[in-house]
C-alpha cells in the first residue's frame, strides 16, 4: 500500500477492516508502486508469479480446480465421494480468503444446494454458480450444457489444439 492510513480506491477491506489482498484486483492495490519506488509495468498487470494472488488470480485457480474436479467426478459417486464433495463445497464460504466472495457464494449455495448426485449434475451446478459470479461482475454467461463444460474442462476443442 502506498499509505496504510488511506487505501487506494478499489482496495477492498477484509472483515478486520484492513485492506484485503485476495479480495482486491492487483491493478487497484498499488497502481503507482509508490511504497518502495517500484514502477509497475502497467496498472492493469496481474501479480508477478512469485507474489501473493489477487482476487482474479485466486478466482481463476479456484475455478480451474473446481471445474476440473467436477469433470472427473464419477457419474455414479459412492456415498464417500458425495460426502467429501459436499464438504469441499461447503468449506468455501468458511475458508475462501476473498471474504466478500465467500459470503456471496455461501448465500448462493444456501439457495441452490450442491448437486453431488453425478458428474453431469455437479458440472452443471458448478457452471451455474460460476455464472452467478460472472453476472455479478458483468461478464458473459457460459453455456452450461455438458458438451460445453466437458470441452472446456475435460476433452478440449474438436480442432485438437489442446491435444
Ligand atoms: C467461489 C468464487 C467466488 C468469487 N466471487 C467473486 C466476487 O464476489 N468478486 C470478484 O471480483 N471476484 C470473484 N471471484 C473471482 C472471479 O469469479 C474470477 O475468477 C476473476 O474475476 C477472474 O476472471 P476471469 O475472467 O479471468 O475468468 P474466470 O471467471 O476465473 O473463469 C476462468 C475460465 O473459466 C471458464 N468459465 C467461465 N465461466 C464459466 C462457467 N460458468 N462454467 C464453467 N467454466 C466457465 C472460462 O473459460 C474462463 O476463462 C470468485 C471466485 C470464486 C472461485
Q: What's the confidence (pLDDT) of residue 30?
A: 77
Q: What's the confidence (pLDDT) of residue 112?
A: 98
Residue 13 · residue 7 · CB < 8 Å: yes
Q: What's the confidence (pLDDT) of residue 1?
A: 44
State the distance from the centre of ligand 1 to the C-alpha of 5, rounded, in angstroms: 31
- State the 10-residue block means of pLDDT for the chain, 163 residues long: 62 93 91 61 75 96 98 98 98 98 98 98 98 98 98 96 95
The long-range contacts involving 77-84, CB below 8 angstroms and separated by at least 24 positions, are 77/116, 77/117, 77/118, 77/119, 81/116, 82/116, 82/117
CB atoms within 10 A of CB 4: 9
Please provide the CATH number assigned to the domain covering 55-155.
Answer: 1.20.120.310
Q: What's the confidence (pLDDT) of residue 130?
A: 98
Enumerate the domain spans of the chain.
1-52, 55-155
Q: Mapping DSSP to helix (H, G, I), strand (E, B) and coil, where does residue 21 land? A: helix
- Mutation test residue for ligand 1: of 21, 25, 56, 63, the one with most atoms within 8 Å of CB: 63
Ligand 1: list residues with CB < 6 Å. 55-56, 59-60, 62-63, 67, 92, 100-101, 104-105, 127, 130-131, 133-134, 137, 139, 142, 149, 152
State the distance from the centre of ligand 1 to the C-alpha of 156, rounded, in angstroms: 19
Amino acid at each position: 500500500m502506498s499509505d496504510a492510513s488511506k487505501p487506494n480506491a478499489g482496495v477492498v477491506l477484509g472483515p478486520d477492516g484492513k485492506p484485503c489482498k485476495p479480495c482486491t484486483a492487483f491493478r487497484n492495490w498499488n497502481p503507482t508502486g509508490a511504497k518502495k519506488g517500484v514502477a509497475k509495468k502497467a496498472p492493469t498487470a496481474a501479480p508477478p508469479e512469485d507474489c501473493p494472488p489477487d482476487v482474479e488470480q485466486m478466482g481463476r485457480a479456484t475455478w480451474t480446480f473446481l471445474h476440473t474436479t467436477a469433470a472427473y467426478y464419477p457419474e455414479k459417486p459412492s456415498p464417500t465421494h458425495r460426502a467429501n464433495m459436499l464438504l469441499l463445497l461447503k468449506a468455501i464460504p468458511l475458508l475462501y480468503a476473498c471474504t466478500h466472495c465467500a459470503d456471496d457464494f455461501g448465500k448462493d449455495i444456501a439457495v441452490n444446494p450442491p448437486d453431488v448426485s453425478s458428474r453431469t449434475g455437479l458440472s452443471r451446478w458448478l457452471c451455474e454458480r460460476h455464472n452467478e459470479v460472472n453476472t455479478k461482475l458483468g461478464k458473459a454467461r457460459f453455456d452450461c450444457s455438458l458438451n460445453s463444460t466437458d470441452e472446456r474442462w475435460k476433452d478440449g476443442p474438436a480442432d485438437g489444439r489442446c491435444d
